[in-house]
Chain A
Amino acid sequence: MPIGTPFHERTEEHCKNKDWKDWAGFFTANSYNVVNDFEYFAFRHSAGLIDITPLFKYKITGADSGSFLSRLMTKDISKLRLNQATYCCWCDNRGMVVDDGTVMRLEENEYFVTAADPSYSWFNRFVKTSDVTIEDVTETMCGLAIQGPTSRDILKKMCDADLDNLKFFWTTKAKVDGADFFISRTGYTGDLGYEVWTENENAIKLFDAIWAAGKGYNIRMAGIAALDVARIEAGLVMNGVDYHSSLHALTPAQMSTPYELGLGWTVNLERDSFMGQKALKKEKKEGSKWATVGLDINWPELEEIFNEHNLAPHTAAGAWRDSIPVYHRDDVTRQIGYATSGTWSPAVKKNIAMATIEAAYAKPGTKVNFEVTVEHQRRTVSAIVEKPQFFNPERKRSNPKK
């Protein structure tokens, strides 16, 4: 049975519709109200607050921790400066992705890593004789993500951290009512946003301070349903949905490389050896088999199919996570890939999806066919291949002008 996070007594008050989900063994609100569009709109127009405690969290310490992480991660972590954060993935030695997450350098020799899957045993397997200690803080530390255009103002109001100068993917320490916490300018919405982390015992203090500060800025609790819409618009892949960890995959076909996931930009290939480097070099040279793309699904064609049934067009409320076949543009019997998640995007007003397709069809602008089920009939509509990132506002990375 899932357990509550340290924020549970607060989130429970807000969760009017009792729509709880089990996220890695914790109760997490899928949505806070029956109609939950506003949770999404908070991300884009004011601020949405999400309990992200269920993420797996590790503290990696010791003199060799930087070089250790550099060996494990696709990115050269040794280049990470104090208080800097980065997003990357980690692979097995076949170059297949094990998981993805953020790495933050909190002290000279202390890193904070978040992951989607339990990773203690995987990390620990490589410690061997090096001066590295891995501490699983998943159940002793908690986190809230505050995401949206007013998130900076809210945090500025509740603590003294210099947020005007905190750049995208940097961290800072802060205090609230005597309790320590730290802020990272990171998130999973593709918008201006922060994640705040603290020890469990400070949870309620931190929550209340943010909530109080947010009153004037239309802060709202947001559930993972809203988060899903935002992250698909932002083109952010999800472990277990858009790909499978190679540790859980039962066959090679279920595994993916960073390049295939569109995470090639997180791979620092030319450096001292790291896990999967050889295979990734080979792939880089020879090309990938698969690619992760965005699909812009043709709306008029969908409308037309609905018309045939004398119905107005509609899509599922919120995001979906089913596997949907994607076919060749000229041949609807030739499957060239599959969509793994999708949503109606309120930000770009398009029906979009994230898909894994054969690399040959991955060029933006390529036309493909996408399966839709309307009134129990399977049909296809056309779709245009795009980059997965549909939404990327300037405010995400910018800082206020001085």
Chain B
Amino acid sequence: MAKKYDAIIIGGGHNGLICAAYLAKAGKDVLVLEKRHIVGGAAVTEEIYPGFKFSVCSYVVSLFRPHIVRELNLAQHGYDIIPMDSSFQPLHNDVGLCRWGDGARSRREIARFSKHDSEVYGEFGKVMTHMARLAKEVIDHPAPDVASINPKELASLLRMGKVFKNLGPEMLQMNTKLLTMSSADFLDLWFESEVLKGPMAVSGVIGTFLGVRSPGTAYVLLHHYMGELDGAFRSWGFSKGGTGGVSDACASAARSYGVEIRTEVAVSHVKIVNGKAKGVVLANGDEIESKIVISNLDPNRTYLKMIGENNLDADITTEIKRFKMRGSSGKVNFALSGLPQFCKGREGDEYMRGDIAIVPNVDYLEKAYDQAKYGEFSERPFINIVIPSLTDPTLAPPGKHVMSCFVQYAPFDIKEGPEHWPQLSEKFGDAVQATIKEYVPDFDSLVLHRQVVTPWDMQETFGLTEGNIFQGELTLEQLLFQRPIAGYAKYKTPIDGLWMCGSGTHPGGGIMGSGGELSAKTILNDKAI
């Protein structure tokens, strides 16, 4: 008789590992099954080219919840984040715009484009940080069910209400605007410079199939003001050793609590008997039993593959199919023989140690989106570049560098058909390289190796349906009590004993760990095992 686990987690992404760690910490017997040879899901470091370590997909860390780090002792397991100090935006025939941690320095940089903007920039950051407290309240708790009048749900609404109340009427108005407006329109309330608004607006659309002029993108701007590193509200950082470092720390913590992790084990589907999950069936036909099953996969895969339509009501199937997954981005990773110079007019490499955003203005970004709307990848895309080897020398041989480019837009549903992405892959890589060349003329000569990750690759290799990096778009109708679908937003599924813990659940994507944490806590609270 094979062993029966308390819980089996399908998928060893960071959320799956965190969920496992919390359950094991509570004394449960947990097994994590990962299809690939390494754990981490989209948060992995891989040596694609000898001597060069790439954060293949996810590349910066900001929103990882600090209490998870504390509760799981992740620092002892190697969780180590190096903060980023600057954000540089190269421009043609100009030294570009670099925003720094040093307020006065940023003010001088911005004043070159708008005196007004340079002065309200700091103000804006303060207001956003202030409002981000609200968002923090939302992401650190399971989503209250607005349709319910259960006192518990009301109390949770009240808690949010209190934060609202303290904001005052002006802030409340600002908040409505923030929740509904487009990021470009919202920034127009503050700023006048199209140059400055470009890189600021872009944070509203990362990972979504929306443009900066699309309503409903403004609130995502908050994410930039929500990041907490080292106890301070600071924005972004690199994980030491690449983003895989975060996953490795989670895995190590999980193992320390007794979690068993098996890689290269693909799950075919969940074993369902009389509407109840009893374990999993592996691709090779083997079965493993457990009291409950937790899926770290996206909602589409969880419902349609792990459960299967035949086990679902037609209504539920319809709702899950309505859940939008449209991937919109790609990654291009370069191994470089030397350091590219994005700006001749600036000395040293200090300005390149943070992120480099190729987004000269708002129109550029919107035009990139317009192309994607009609099924093409952007000829001149938004590219967010980081060269983490500048701050973390373990990633590349001395003097050489890894450069990671997040590229938007690359719609999964390309007009030739998504299955044609493999043929378009190099063309896409060329477009990215050509865009970079506009700022770094000798870029081609530095490239030792290029890895192109298209939305198709994200689906096929990393199991992200339609290449959506957040396991489902972060639009308002897919958040909170509607993530992934109304009625099953609290990590439950219609199948008794089958739970979810991935980014496709509240509060959503990015390396936050919240899905893993909140699902585990909900499972323990419900005494499901």
Contact = CB atoms under 8 A, between A and B. Distances in A.
Q: Do chains A and B touch in the complex (CB under 8 A)?
A: yes
Contacts of B107: 25, 118
Contacts of A24: 104
A248 to B, nearest CB: 7
Nearest to B116: A121
Given A121-B119, A121-B120, A1 B126 contact: no
Contacts of B118: 118
B104 A248 contact: no
Contacts of B104: 2, 22, 24-26
B223 interface: no
B419 interface: no
B115 A1 contact: no
Interface string A251-265: 110000000000000
Contact of B119 (A1, A3, A120): A120
B189 to A, nearest CB: 13
B105 interface: yes
A121 B115 contact: yes
Contacts of B264: none
Interface residues of B, number: 16
B123 A248 contact: yes
A124 B116 CA distance: 8
A358 interface: no
Interface string A4-45: 000000000000000000101110000000000000000000
Nearest to B120: A121
Interface string A239-273: 00000000110111000000000000000000000
A56 to B, nearest CB: 10
A208 to B, nearest CB: 28
Contacts of B123: 247-248
Query: Chain B: interface secondary structure?
Result: helix
A54 B102 CA distance: 16
A313 B427 CA distance: 77
A250 B130 contact: yes
Nearest to A252: B168
A25 B115 contact: no
A221 B107 CA distance: 29
A35 B105 CA distance: 31
A64 interface: no
B108 interface: yes
Contact of A25 (B108, B120, B126): B108
18 contacts: A1-B102, A2-B104, A24-B104, A25-B103, A25-B104, A25-B108, A120-B115, A120-B116, A120-B119, A121-B115, A121-B120, A122-B119, A136-B115, A247-B123, A248-B123, A250-B126, A251-B166, A252-B168
Interface of B: 102-105, 107-108, 115-116, 118-120, 123, 126, 130, 166, 168
Q: 8 shortest A-B CB distances, which residue pairs?
A: A25-B104, A121-B119, A118-B119, A121-B116, A120-B115, A250-B130, A121-B120, A1-B105
Given A2-B104, A25-B103, 8 more contacts: A1-B102, A3-B108, A25-B107, A118-B107, A118-B118, A121-B120, A124-B116, A248-B126
